[in-house]
Amino acid sequence: MKAVVLGSGGWGTALSQVLWDNGHETYLWSHNAAKAEEMARTRENPLLKGVRLPETLHITADLDCLRGADLVVSAPPSFAVRETAKKMAPYLTDKTVVVSVSKGIERDTNLRLSQVIREESGDICQVVVLSGPSHAEEVGIRLPTGCVSACPDVTAARFVQDAFMNDYFRVYTSGDIVGVELAAALKNVIALSCGVCDGLGYQDNTKALLMTRAMAEITRLGLKMGGAWQTFGGLAGMGDLIVTCTSMHSRNRRAGILIGQGKTPQQAMEEVGAVVEGYFAALSIHQLSAREGVEMPISQCAYEVLYEGKQVREVVRELMTRAKKDELLETAWL
């Protein structure tokens, strides 16, 4: 099978190695010709340090590598998904399966990223979402990892499962593409918030409280938008939330730590030096929750800190002194 990964960040690079390990003819495409040439020469990606790429993994900046591809993996940052989809569209056929592995919501439109790909591809082929608790740094060194292949078309979901699954990369299938995609996008702002807790010096109790209550509000919005409640307790939901909130691999958490230590959001993102999806997710959640009429107090407080300049300790006090609630009523989705 011919597989092409569009996007040479750490995640795209790690997934290209998974596909290569599984015996597929694999191409890793970069929009930057100089970067592609350097990676091909050194067999290394600075964004995935310590991983030497196989000599027969094709690294290129030529979009013609898409010709005849059976599987196309869309792996750019969320802000570049539409542009990348436009580039791939002329090469797609009704036999191609596109796998969206980016996590986020498109700015301005608030569309899920698979919806963006469908818009630009003319809905000519199946689009599957692959998501879960899966840091590129660990997949790159072949540590055991689990993900979910989500698509309403079970044949397409299983096709992607078969393409990626091996003895260190386990893939489950799901028909809930909406829930899987929303869970992936919405947890980024919570990971950033957990980082803020670390930066403030708060410890395990606080982060457990934050993560649990955040999952309740993420689930409320996900259900309202058509997701299945089981998804939010699974790998794509709670699993991804745990790994993103607790790992130093997480750019969102690192940015949050800096904000908790007193940096502005802009200073924090500059210091992290890579895309911090949680910053943009906070705006999307603010807009989506208002549109859907769903109360999301933690996400709203994150929005106020990131976009309105509110003081972190002030929003913590507001959250801790909210009106009393009954947890069983609040978590009826369980």
State the total domains in the chain. Answer: 2
Is 68 annotated for ligand binding?
no
Q: Enumerate the H helices of the chain as residue ranges.
A: 10-21, 33-42, 81-88, 113-121, 136-140, 154-164, 177-200, 204-224, 229-232, 240-246, 251-260, 265-272, 277-292, 297-308, 312-320, 327-330
What pLDDT digit, counting tens, does each position of 219-237 carry? Answer: 999 999 999 999 999 999 9
The pLDDT, as a whole number, for residue 273 is 86
Q: Are residues 312 and 207 in the same domain?
A: yes
Residue 250 belongs to a domain with what CATH number?
1.10.1040.10
- Does the annotation list 193 as a binding residue? no
For residue 292, what are the domain limits?
Answer: 185-330
pLDDT value for 252: 93
Q: Is 250 labelled a binding residue?
A: yes
Q: Averaged over 116-141, what is the pLDDT?
A: 96
Query: What confidence tens digit (pLDDT) does each residue in 168-219 have?
Result: 999 999 999 999 999 999 999 999 999 999 999 999 999 999 999 999 999 9
* Same-domain pairing of 19 and 161: yes
DSSP conformation letters of 245-257? HH-TT-HHHHHHH
Q: Are residues 64 and 157 in the same domain?
A: yes
Average pLDDT over residues 272-290: 92
Query: Does any domain span residue 164?
Result: yes
131 is known to lie in a ligand binding site: no
How do residues 21-66 score in pLDDT, each as one tens digit? Answer: 999 999 999 999 999 999 999 999 999 999 999 999 999 999 999 9
pLDDT at 134: 97
| SS3 of residue 63 by DSSP | helix
CA 55 to chain centre: 28
Q: Are 257 and 231 in the same domain?
A: yes
Question: Catalytic residue numbers?
Answer: 187
**Rounded Cα gap, residues 220 and 81, in angstroms:** 26
Question: Of 122, 144, 175, which marks where a domain is finished?
Answer: 175
**pLDDT at residue 330 greater than cutoff 70:** no
